[in-house]
Chains A and B, each alone.
Chain A
Amino acid sequence: AQKITQTQPGMFVQEKEAVTLDCTYDTSDQSYGLFWYKQPSSGEMIFLIYQGSYDEQNATEGRYSLNFQKARKSANLVISASQLGDSAMYFCAMREPNSGYSTLTFGKGTMLLVSP
């Protein structure tokens, strides 16, 4: 069963507008971590923001914020004031226990295109 679901294969937004990228997750664990990464066409995976399952407040990092709704098991990424450089693939990921360690499971990603 897919543990991270990103239902938007592609999103379009105009420069300076805000955009929300959806992410839902499935886990039976009480303790887990949620991450968002950005991957430009160059290939590097850039860490954007983290939300812990016990964090009561939504995480924010500059123009990025995470809309965390634990009961709904959703962790949507909000990008405010989009810029042309935000055009990239965005992955939601969950860190969970794996064979005595903890590893990341990624969603399929959402391609964001920002137009002038």
Chain B
Amino acid sequence: DTEVTQTPKHLVMGMTNKKSLKCEQHMGHRAMYWYKQKAKKPPELMFVYSYEKLSINESVPSRFSPECPNSSLLNLHLHALQPEDSALYLCASSLDADLSLTDTQYFGPGTRLTVL
């Protein structure tokens, strides 16, 4: 089973709202990732968690706040977003984020976010 689930599938929010995206995997993976993908562009890495600790933050604005409550769950808390933050947000997981170049990332179906 290589399933990563994400909720919600679609989200529309105003610039003053607070919302959260949720990602879950039960493959025993120790690394989890958030990506942002604009239309017709490749995914851009936002955050990497390894063993439930934030390992990489690709200079993401503080209005995006990641959280990893346990090894199976990854959240992305959203607050005071801008319209340009509208995008597809993809979650992924892999066995190990440490220097393992063979490690395959498995992606969830994504959340399509629209900020009004």
Contact = CB atoms under 8 A, between A and B. Distances in A.
Interface of A: 31-33, 35, 37, 42-47, 50, 52-53, 91, 95-104, 106-109
A42 B109 contact: yes
A96 B100 CA distance: 9
Given A45-B107, A106-B42, A108-B41, A52 B90 contact: no
Contact of B99 (A42, A44, A50, A100): A100
Interface stretch (B18-26, B43-51, B76-84): B43-51
Given A32-B101, A33-B102, A52-B102, A98 B43 contact: no
A91 B92 CA distance: 15
Contacts of A46: 107
Q: 8 shortest A-B CB distances, which residue pairs?
A: A106-B42, A45-B107, A33-B101, A43-B110, A44-B109, A101-B97, A95-B101, A102-B99
Given A52-B101, A102-B101, A43 B43 contact: no
A97 B100 CA distance: 9
Interface residues of B, number: 29
30 contacts: A31-B101, A33-B102, A33-B103, A35-B105, A43-B110, A44-B107, A44-B109, A45-B43, A46-B107, A47-B2, A47-B104, A47-B106, A91-B43, A95-B101, A95-B102, A96-B101, A97-B101, A98-B56, A99-B56, A100-B98, A101-B55, A101-B98, A101-B99, A102-B97, A102-B98, A102-B100, A103-B45, A103-B97, A108-B42, A109-B40
